[in-house]
Structure 1
């Protein structure tokens, strides 16, 4: 065979394959972009958020999502169940910091402006943690009912995937919403281990880890999953009552942790009201500023220490 013809033929085949590859890649990219746009409009994901409404600050949201902080923030917001995007949260946090900064300068002294601004950052992130923890608590309270539904569905002969879908339809939020995400992941080919593992990462708790471990082991090795879920249901009910009793006993201690710094801030406002300009004179010198910083640090240490003492893992 003529080597020239062989070379020309191989070159033509390579060119045809290259054109087909580029066309396939372009088609896939277009389909992916269309899917993201559709999900953004319907609220299933992406930048559009939930509710099908047009989101404000979309440009800021895109820039925030590209950063490592934005990706972590998106995961934290998704665990809270709030109808807000990372861009909206960043804008709200910046507005809160600006308002507290200006308020601190106006009511106290210019020295307290940056301190109040930093307090705004702490309040914003603390709000997310509080919402996330509240959602976790609600989910934990629903775990006994979830375990009972899974046990009944499994005993009726349903597969674990169908049992999870049934539980998603039966339970209210947040358990219903979280299990709906798991069911959607299973529908697109995600394994049961991965889907349940992501659920445990979004809403970390000892009770959920035990339930996920039980379901994963039953899915891998089979066995008496019904009896295991029955026993787990009773255990979760007992832990639920124990957690409620412990939280009731420690409610006064938790309130003290928040009352102590509030008393300190109230004292500053009272001093400035009794002697106008006292805070300006106090923070006008280096020793006064150092004393304020040390006092704020001590209040922070006291708050953390009281919270640690009142935190009992059940």
Structure 2
């Protein structure tokens, strides 16, 4: 009995010692982590703490799927401060709201149609944000090329020149080059870091710039003259793109006006004859007519957008 008592006391003391050591190790690790986060936040290598993220559990599970990874890549290209989980939840809420509004204002048949349009609209919104940010980045490429040329002419390494350009340029070029500089700082190759940039913001101008930098870095040639010539070319392409966009602005408005007129016509008809849409979609032939009309409107929108898309 006495040996059992001593054994119990010894095990208890050992557990207490291990518990104190564990708490000490946890406290030290937590303090080191907080110090590292604070240091990286002040140096710009880690974004400062922002708003509280919602739906964290759903977001973690979503990121493990292929759809979640594609959404995450698109969100990274748009620059929006939102996680894939938050985006999916908000998109589902928007679809449910459109379903209820369309069912109550128009007819029950238009509820699923409005939800599908909402699903297309969320994806179109991401593509629009991505194209908008890419366009802003393209407009900054001449200045970026000029900064890189001046930095390399002054004798700075290309990695240092990229980091300097990230500090001097505004968003989105500054943010994107900051990501490239951070990848280079942790040991990633220049080819991989710049390739990831072109995947996130695809454009011909950026591909040309990245190809020039990569080839000059590999071959060890004079990058200054190449960047000088590229700066002039990017300035000319910038002006050409602006002129083309101005000439096609009327066609772009027409592409969005055509389906808007169709929706306005349905609302006007339902306002003049209350319940007309409900009676029309109550029969099979009416539902088929609505579906065919929606397909025709979508086809017209896509065709007009295709015709107005000119690659410069």
Q: TM-score, length-normalised on structure 1?
A: 0.85
Give distance in 1, aligned partners of 2:233 and 2:163: 23
Residue 295 of structure 1 and its aligned partner are, at CA, apart by 0.1
**Which string of whole-angstrom CA distances, capped at 9 and with x for unpartnered residues, describes residues 153-212 of structure 1?**
000000000000010001000000000000000000000000011001100000000000
The equivalent of 1:127 in structure 2 is 125
Q: CA 1:282/1:43 → structure 2, altered by over 3 Å: closer, same or farther?
A: farther
Task: Give the paired residue count.
Answer: 277
State the superposition RMSD in angstroms: 2.1
Give distance in 2, aligned partners of 1:133 and 1:143: 15
The answer (yes or no) to whether the contact 1:254–1:310 under 8 Å persists in 2 is: yes
Residue 43 of structure 1 and its aligned partner are, at CA, apart by 8.5
Alignment of structure 1 residues 113-192 onto 2, 5 Å: 113-192=111-190
Give distance in 2, aligned partners of 1:245 and 1:104: 40
Alignment of structure 1 residues 163-312 onto 2, 5 Å: 163-312=161-310
The equivalent of 2:78 in structure 1 is 80
Give distance in 2, aligned partners of 1:292 and 1:43: 55
Residue 52 of structure 1 and its aligned partner are, at CA, apart by 3.2
Give distance in 2, aligned partners of 1:214 and 1:296: 47
Q: CA 1:112/1:256 → structure 2, altered by over 3 Å: closer, same or farther?
A: same
Residue 54 of structure 1 and its aligned partner are, at CA, apart by 2.2
Give distance in 1, aligned partners of 2:84 and 2:192: 25
Which consecutive residues of structure 1, in runs of 5 or more, have no partner in the other structure? Answer: 1-30
Q: TM-score, length-normalised on structure 2?
A: 0.85
Give distance in 2, aligned partners of 1:59 and 1:175: 32
Residue 224 of structure 1 and its aligned partner are, at CA, apart by 1.8
The answer (yes or no) to whether the contact 1:49–1:84 under 8 Å persists in 2 is: no
Give distance in 1, aligned partners of 2:41 and 2:64: 20
Q: CA 1:43/1:115 → structure 2, altered by over 3 Å: closer, same or farther?
A: farther
The answer (yes or no) to whether the contact 1:61–1:85 under 8 Å persists in 2 is: yes
The equivalent of 2:104 in structure 1 is 106
**Which string of whole-angstrom CA distances, capped at 9 and with x for unpartnered residues, describes residues 71-101 of structure 1?**
1100110000000000110111011000000
Give 3-state SS (helix, strand or coil) of 1:214's partner.
helix
